[in-house]
């Protein structure tokens, strides 16, 4: 990647001006846009929470907006809302990889002319999940895409992506953004408090995009409160109570995703103005897949919340109660800290990872949560444990 050049500092009007903690990336992409040297395929690599998604959205605006990403025109607004017909976000539909049908659909779509803009942007959110036949199918298009197409692929590390994919992309490396910077960026972008910013980041596993969505979503905030409410009684209850809590959480997770459905209906109504019947059907199918993915996200979020709570109990246990994230549950956290030990809490944290794996292998949500809450209860209930101190 090129070094910071004084001529390419993003101006306030640049779509890259407000990116958190990635000045070098911002100036590199600003220069590419200003000199009209946008590559046909980018690979953004960097850890979770390094603004890759935000940057990809900014680049999509720069490509699709007539004014290089002004931020206020109809094209820019549609990109922000993810409803621009020439901006496609492609997430893996398999539990651990992209499906070959998805890639075939993408290749077919990429060959069609743009609908609103002069170009089209495809954002593939998990380049590490491009494997096997799906990856091979994409290679040729990635190497020589139709002239109007720009690909943006995201991955946490370069090593996790097949070399044949990497070699066809311009790699842009993102730096790790320390937690204090991420918290400050969230406060600057949303006007939230430090306390809420920390909660949002924890619930989103450290992702800035996810944290911003969390802050704007009553449903997600509500989910966190209910998850933490559900485990509040674990130390006092018995196994039946733990199973009951798991059942309640399962119902909560499968509840209709009201906010998403309203947004999708709005997108369909908007699309009805200019999309063909076939394109509308395709949009509906895509929306259905998005709902499935969102359900998976809610489970991942539940596990993030449980992890941050367990880390809080660990912190409280070593006298760092002032540093806990979930301070609205501090009474329960210090009570649990008094009855548990670091080894047990570490085992409970491992149980959350195991739960994540089970979900990836399509084990039912309810049985996954049941076994997780039972393990957590064992570690939090002193009389169920071997004496260890």
The least distance separating Zn ion from the CB of residue 61, rounded to whole angstroms, comes to: 6
Which contacts (CB < 8 Å, 24+ apart) does range 34-39 have? 34/8, 34/68, 38/62, 38/63, 38/150, 39/150, 39/169, 39/170
Taking the C-alpha atoms of residue 144 and residue 124, their distance in angstroms, rounded to an integer, is 17
The least distance separating Zn ion from the CB of residue 117, rounded to whole angstroms, comes to: 10
> Contact with Zn ion (CB under 5 A): which of 26, 32, 60, 76?
76
Whose Cβ is closer to Zn ion: residue 120's or residue 168's? 120
Interface with Zn ion, residue 70, by CB under 5 A: yes
**Residue 330, φ and ψ in degrees, nearest 5:** -65, -30
> Contact with Zn ion (CB under 5 A): which of 65, 243, 300, 313?
65
Whose Cβ is closer to Zn ion: residue 25's or residue 62's? 62
The least distance separating Zn ion from the CB of residue 15, rounded to whole angstroms, comes to: 8
Helix segments in 233-320, DSSP class H: 239-254, 258-271, 277-317
Interface with Zn ion, residue 77, by CB under 5 A: no
Interface with Zn ion, residue 324, by CB under 5 A: no
Taking the C-alpha atoms of residue 154 and residue 98, their distance in angstroms, rounded to an integer, is 13
The least distance separating Zn ion from the CB of residue 110, rounded to whole angstroms, comes to: 23
Binding segment toward Zn ion, per CB under 5 A, in 24-32, 65-73, 221-229, 358-366: 65-73
Contact string (CB under 5 A) for Zn ion, positions 22-61, x = contact: ----------------------------------------
| 277-317 helix and 258-271 helix, angle to the nearest 10 degrees | 150
The least distance separating Zn ion from the CB of residue 77, rounded to whole angstroms, comes to: 8
In the bound state, the residue with its beta carbon closest to Zn ion is 65
The least distance separating Zn ion from the CB of residue 76, rounded to whole angstroms, comes to: 3
The least distance separating Zn ion from the CB of residue 75, rounded to whole angstroms, comes to: 5
Sign of the Cα torsion 380, 382, 387, 389 reads: positive
Tokens 């993915």 found at:
293
Which contacts (CB < 8 Å, 24+ apart) does range 162-166 have? 162/130, 162/131, 162/135, 164/135, 164/139, 165/43, 165/127, 165/130, 165/135, 165/138, 165/139, 166/43
Taking the C-alpha atoms of residue 103 and residue 139, their distance in angstroms, rounded to an integer, is 10
Whose Cβ is closer to Zn ion: residue 71's or residue 145's? 71
CA distances from 43 to 56, 184, 228, 277, 355 (A): 10, 27, 37, 34, 30
Whose Cβ is closer to Zn ion: residue 16's or residue 309's? 16
Binding segment toward Zn ion, per CB under 5 A, in 72-80, 177-185, 223-231, 287-295: 72-80
Whose Cβ is closer to Zn ion: residue 65's or residue 359's? 65
> Contact with Zn ion (CB under 5 A): which of 73, 100, 107, 282?
73
| Interacting positions 130-169 with Zn ion (CB under 5 A) | none
* Beta strands 87-90; 120-124: pairing state: parallel
Whose Cβ is closer to Zn ion: residue 74's or residue 194's? 74
The least distance separating Zn ion from the CB of residue 232, rounded to whole angstroms, comes to: 47
CA distances from 231 to 121, 248, 368, 380 (A): 43, 11, 15, 10
The least distance separating Zn ion from the CB of residue 265, rounded to whole angstroms, comes to: 25
Binding site for Zn ion (CB under 5 A): 65, 70, 73, 76
């Amino acid at each position: 990647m090129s070094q910071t050049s004084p001529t390419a500092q993003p101006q306030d009007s640049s779509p890259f001006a407000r990116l958190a903690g990635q000045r070098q990336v911002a100036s590199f992409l600003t220069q590419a846009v200003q000199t009209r040297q946008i590559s046909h395929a980018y690979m953004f690599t960097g850890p979770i929470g390094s603004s890759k998604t935000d940057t990809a959205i900014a680049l999509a605006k720069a490509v699709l907006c007539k004014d290089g990403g002004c931020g206020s025109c109809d094209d820019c607004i549609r990109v922000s809302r993810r409803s621009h017909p020439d901006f496609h976000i492609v997430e893996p539909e398999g539990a651990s990889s992209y499906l070959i049908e998805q890639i075939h659909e993408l290749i077919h779509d990429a060959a069609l002319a743009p609908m609103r803009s002069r170009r089209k942007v495809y954002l593939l959110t998990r380049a590490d999940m491009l494997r096997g036949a799906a990856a091979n199918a994409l290679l040729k298009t990635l190497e020589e895409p139709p002239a109007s197409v720009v690909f943006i692929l995201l991955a946490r590390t370069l090593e996790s992506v097949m070399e044949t994919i990497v070699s066809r992309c311009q790699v842009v490396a993102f730096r790790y953004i320390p937690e204090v910077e991420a918290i400050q960026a969230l406060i600057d972008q949303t006007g939230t408090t430090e306390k809420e910013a920390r909660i949002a980041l924890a619930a989103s596993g450290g992702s800035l995009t996810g944290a911003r969505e969390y802050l704007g979503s009553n449903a997600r905030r509500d989910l966190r409160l209910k998850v933490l409410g559900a485990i509040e009684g674990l130390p006092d209850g018995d196994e039946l109570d733990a199973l009951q809590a798991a059942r309640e959480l399962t119902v909560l997770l499968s509840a209709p995703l009201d906010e998403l459905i309203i947004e999708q209906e709005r997108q369909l109504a908007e699309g009805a103005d200019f999309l063909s019947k076939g394109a509308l059907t395709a949009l509906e199918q895509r929306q259905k897949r998005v709902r499935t993915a969102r359900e998976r996200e809610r489970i991942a979020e539940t596990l993030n919340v449980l992890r941050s709570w367990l880390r809080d109990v660990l912190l409280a246990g070593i006298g760092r109660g002032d540093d806990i994230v979930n301070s609205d549950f501090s009474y329960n956290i210090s009570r649990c800290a008094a009855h548990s030990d670091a080894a047990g809490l570490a085992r409970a944290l491992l149980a959350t990872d195991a739960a994540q794996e089970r979900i990836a292998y399509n084990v039912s949500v309810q049985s996954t949560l049941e076994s997780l809450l039972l393990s957590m209860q064992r570690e939090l209930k002193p009389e169920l444990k071997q004496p260890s101190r």
